[in-house]
Amino acid sequence: MSYKFPVPTQGTHTRPFWEGAKAGKLMLPRCQDCNRVHWYPRFICPHCHSTNLEWIQGSGEGTVHTYAVQHMAFGPWAEEVPYVTAYIDLKEGDRMLTVLRGVDPSKPEEIRIGAHVKVEFEPANDDMHLPFWRVVEG
Amino acid sequence: MPGTLYKSAAIVGAAEANQIGFLKEPVTALQLHIEAIKNLSDSTGLPISRIEGVFSTGWSSELCEHLGIRPKYIDTTAVGGCSFEMHVHHAMAAIHAGIIDTALISHGENGHSARAIGGRGAANYGRGGVNSPGQEMTMAYGLGSAPSNYAHAMVRHMHRFGTTTEDFAHIAKVTRDWATLNPRAAMYSKDVHPFGGPITVEQVEESRLIAWPLTILHCCMVADHGGAVLVASPKVAASLNTKPVWIAGAGESMGHSNMLEMEDFTATSASVSADAAYTMAGMGPSDMEMALIYDSFTITAAITAEMLGLAPRGEGHLLWKDGRAAPGGSFPINTNGGGLSFNHSGMYGMPLLIEAYRQLSGTAEDGINGDKGKQTSARTCVVNGTGGSLSTTGTLVLVADD
């Protein structure tokens, strides 16, 4: 089944992330001077302004920071409502956005902030495999 | 005799991106900006963290977010090739006024590379555009409208402070009460709009879900609005027939551009912009007698009230729930009916200014239908606008003429 949702345009400096995603790895940018991971990928460390950046393989683990249940959406997503969106605190630091898997959108009160999540990748096309996060325990 | 701005500022450094010209490896406008800024910092010795004002023809808040800085002066004047000369002018004025000591003026435009990687460098005024890395990492996840984003802040507020959807529903109910006193309000009455007139907390709770926990009555409308205000010098002000309302304090700030970068989902930069405005005015929250707060959503109003120092953290909603913000209450808020029930066309900053002027000049009754009731006795007002996804804020402290 072909992937029907919007797919991002790959940037000029994010290739390592998308290549990692194709191999099932969550690659994260880290500053070699202050050792902090940041997300989204920058041309410069937003913490210490060094340009000595590297890519590391992340653990693919995190927790739910906050979430919402979308009942009104546009384009292909409109056919999917209700679905849960969430911001994920990465184990390595900083945050990612996702459509959260492994939860019931009809019971929003049962979704737990702080719940443990793991990343998984869904092929959208030959080049782009998109990360999504799934709740693995309450 | 030189004018007052004479020698009040100087250009102290200049730099370019690492590579310029017809580049073989395509670059984004944002990359060109960042390289030039890094090189400028290196050559002048001024750390990027010490930049206080940012001027660009693009989306300056995205540029600042990428750099990880939160300036106190943000300018995105974009009027064509001469914009940068104007940025110098604006920066000079801001420096002369004592608001900032350092101003970054930045340019990045990938007119050549854009042909290879999509988006036109010139058309997006040097923005990251389709190649913005923040967009690249968020656009796949089904967030589109403002409520789809703001709902995440409400959930975090409920988690952290134990607030409930019912707490926030009082904001919608009280704000509607104000609208029923304002004949110009879109939700003034059932005659004006089928869903107009008074509403109950229960109705807010039970209305259609947009993005849980936001129901439609927690959300502002999207209508049509036009407005303007005149700002003048004291001398000009004294020569006019209208009453002046004095700008006692002003401040601006930002937390982020993309909500992905919102550090604390229960706070905005209004605490910073308000601090600047209060300091300039020599006044504090306790000196304010009313407030006009951008209420894109009930959660926006609650968080902003907390940021403005009008309520402790986690208790902003109590201003409405216990009736202080309501008609006849001790601290009126959003006396026009707000973006929730008066009017909101997409950007609500202008209606805030108009209502603040009317309240403090004693002209808050329009005389339409002969209605009376929304004019308050307030002599001071704090006004706060919020932009983006709880991203940017501007705060004013306004006082009535003696």
Global confidence as pTM: 0.91
- Asked if residue A58 is part of any domain, the answer here is yes
Which overall architecture, per CATH, does domain B204-400 show? 3-Layer(aba) Sandwich (3.40)
- Asked if residue A1 is part of any domain, the answer here is no
Which residue does chain A place closest to B213, by CA atoms?
A68
Domain ranges of chain B: 29-136, 204-400
CB-nearest partner of B142 from A87, A95, A99? A99
Judge contact between B18 and B35, C-beta under 8 A.
Answer: yes
- Asked if residue A7 is part of any domain, the answer here is no
Helix boundaries (H) for B70-121: 83-96, 114-117
| Chain A residues with beta carbon closer than 8 angstroms to that of B153 | 66
| Chain B residues with beta carbon closer than 8 angstroms to that of A66 | 152-153, 155-156, 159, 265
Flag whether pLDDT at B116 surpasses 50. Answer: yes
Q: What's residue B114's pLDDT?
A: 83
Flag whether pLDDT at A1 surpasses 70. Answer: no
Could you read off the pLDDT of B78-87 as tens digits, one per residue?
Answer: 888 888 999 9
| Chain B residues with beta carbon closer than 8 angstroms to that of A40 | 133-134, 136-138, 258, 260
- Asked if residue A90 is part of any domain, the answer here is yes
Size of interface A-B (CB pairs under 8 A): 152
Q: Domain range for residue A123? A: 15-137
Q: What's residue B371's pLDDT?
A: 60
Average pLDDT over residues A20-25: 98
| Chain B residues with beta carbon closer than 8 angstroms to that of A41 | 133, 137
Which residue does chain B place closest to A86, by CA atoms?
B152
Could you read off the pLDDT of A47-66 as tens digits, one per residue?
Answer: 999 999 999 999 999 999 99
Distance (Å) of CA B261 to CA A85, B145, B282, B386: 16, 18, 32, 16
Which residue does chain A place closest to B165, by CA atoms?
A109
Give residues with Cβ within 8 angstroms of B163, minimum separation 6: B157, B302, B314, B317
What is the C-alpha R_g of chain B? 23
Q: What's residue B368's pLDDT?
A: 56
Could you read off the pLDDT of B314-334 as tens digits, one per residue?
Answer: 999 999 999 999 999 999 999
- Asked if residue A83 is part of any domain, the answer here is yes
Q: What's residue B402's pLDDT?
A: 84
- Asked if residue A10 is part of any domain, the answer here is no
Whether residues A66 and B141 touch (CB distance < 8 A) is answered with no
Q: Which DSSP category does B86 fall into?
A: H
- Asked if residue A107 is part of any domain, the answer here is yes
| Chain B residues with beta carbon closer than 8 angstroms to that of A82 | 209, 212
Judge contact between B306 and B160, C-beta under 8 A.
Answer: no
Residue B130 — φ and ψ, nearest 5°? -65, -20
Q: Which pair of structure tokens corresponds to residue B400?
A: 């009535």
Which residue does chain B place closest to A7, by CA atoms?
B140
Whether residues B68 and A7 touch (CB distance < 8 A) is answered with no
Q: Which pair of structure tokens corresponds to residue B291?
A: 């407030």
DSSP B193-256: -TT-S---HHHHHHSPEEEETEEGGGB--------------HHHHHHSSSPPEEEEEEEEEES-
- Return the CATH number at A79: 2.40.50.840
Q: Judged by CB atoms within 8 Å, which residues 45-84 of B form the interface with A?
A: 47-49, 65-68
Q: What whole-number distance in Å separates Cα of residue A83 and Cα of residue A101? A: 9
Q: What's residue B372's pLDDT?
A: 65
- Asked if residue A102 is part of any domain, the answer here is yes
Q: How many domains does chain A have?
A: 1
